[in-house]
Amino acid sequence: MITPEKPLLAEIISISQDTSDTKTFEVGFVDKKLQKKFSFMPGQFMMISVFGFGEFPISISSSPYKTNSIKFTIVNVGNVTNAMHKLKKGEQIGLRGPFGTGFPLQKFRKKNILFVSGGCGLAPLRSAIYAVQEKKSEFGKISVLFGCKTPENVLFNEDMNQWQKENFNVLSTVDYPNKNWKGNTGVVTGLFKQVNFSPENTIVMICGPSVMIHFSLIELRKKGFRNEQMFASLERLMQCGVGYCSHCNIGNKYSCIDGPVFNAKDLEKLPVKEN
C-alpha cells in the first residue's frame, strides 16, 4: 500500500465524459517515484480527497498491468463527487490506498470467467476484465454481462466492442430501451440463459447494486454454481478505509478491510440485500 492514512497529491491527467452523470478521471501521483511503485489488485479501491469538500471511496477502473496512471470512473451523486466532476485537467486531488481485498485472479487460471455487472458496477469489474484480457490464453471462455437503466447509461462502449472482437461473450440489457436499442431488455439475471458454458470450472465476479448482487447469487445457485465459485464487490458507505471507524460494518465484517470483494460463502451470512 502506498499511503494508508495521509492523502498524497495526485494530478488529473485526462478526463472523459462516459455518460451524462459519469466521468473517468485518469490521475497520477505528483511524486513520480510513488507512481512507479504503485500496484493494485483488480477490485481494490482508493480514497479520493477533493480539497475543501471531503473524501470518498472509489474503485480503480484501469488495468493492473498499466500503472503509469490510475483511472477512476465516478458517478456524480452528491456533494463530493459533484465537486470532483467540476475539476479540470491539471488540477490536484489527494489519494490514499489502495485498500481492501481484490479479486484473487491468480486462483482463477484455466477457469471460464463470468462477469456480471450492474450500472457503474462495471467500473471495478473493468479492471479485472482488463487483467483477464491481458492474459487471455490463461483463462477459458469469458462472458461479460452488463445491465443498466437506459441505453444512455451504457458504459465503456469502446471496451465492450474490443472485448467482443476478442471473442468475449458480451451481452447488455437495459430496463427502458429506446427505438435504437439492439441489445436485451430486462434485468441482468435475464441474460444468464445466454451464457454458453456450464457451472463446472467457472468463476463468477459480480459488482452492482446490492439487490442485483443478491438476486444474481440466487439465480446462479439455482443454475448449479457453488458459493466457492462466486465473488462480489460490495459498495458500503465507508469513511476511513482501514478498519478504524466502523462505518462500513456489515454483520461481523468491515467492508473496507474484509472486502469490498467477498466470496459468496461469506456473503450468505451477511445482510447484503439492504444497503
Ligand X SMILES: Cc1cc2nc3c(=O)[nH]c(=O)nc-3n(C[C@H](O)[C@H](O)[C@H](O)COP(=O)(O)OP(=O)(O)OC[C@H]3O[C@@H](n4cnc5c(N)ncnc54)[C@H](O)[C@@H]3O)c2cc1C
Q: Give the residues lining the site for ligand X (CB under 6 A).
A: 45, 56-59, 73-75, 77-82, 120, 123-124, 235-238, 260
- Phi, psi (degrees; rounded to nearest 5) at 270: -110, 155
Output the CA–CA distances (angstroms, integers) from residue 110 to 135, 139, 194, in the order listed. 11, 4, 21
Distance between CA 39 and CA 24 in Å, rounded? 19
C-alpha cell, 44: 481494490
- Decide whether 195 or 242 has the Cβ nearer to ligand X: 242
- In the complex, the smallest distance separating the C-beta of residue 187 from ligand X, rounded to whole angstroms, is 20
- In the complex, the smallest distance separating the C-beta of residue 164 from ligand X, rounded to whole angstroms, is 23
- In the complex, the smallest distance separating the C-beta of residue 229 from ligand X, rounded to whole angstroms, is 22
- DSSP, collapsed to helix, strand or coil, labels residue 161 as helix
- In the complex, the smallest distance separating the C-beta of residue 119 from ligand X, rounded to whole angstroms, is 9
Which amino acid makes up residue 32? K
- Decide whether 140 or 209 has the Cβ nearer to ligand X: 209
- Decide whether 28 or 57 has the Cβ nearer to ligand X: 57
* Contacts of 105 by beta carbon, 8 Å cutoff, 6+ apart: 41, 42, 128, 131, 132
- Decide whether 192 or 235 has the Cβ nearer to ligand X: 235
- Decide whether 83 or 184 has the Cβ nearer to ligand X: 83
- In the complex, the smallest distance separating the C-beta of residue 269 from ligand X, rounded to whole angstroms, is 20
The answer to whether the beta carbons of residues 262 and 100 sit under 8 Å apart is no
Query: What are 263's strand-pairing partners?
Result: 231
- Decide whether 123 or 128 has the Cβ nearer to ligand X: 123
Distance between CA 50 and CA 82 in Å, rounded? 10
- In the complex, the smallest distance separating the C-beta of residue 57 from ligand X, rounded to whole angstroms, is 4
Residue (of 38, 138, 134, 24) closest to 89 by Cα position? 24
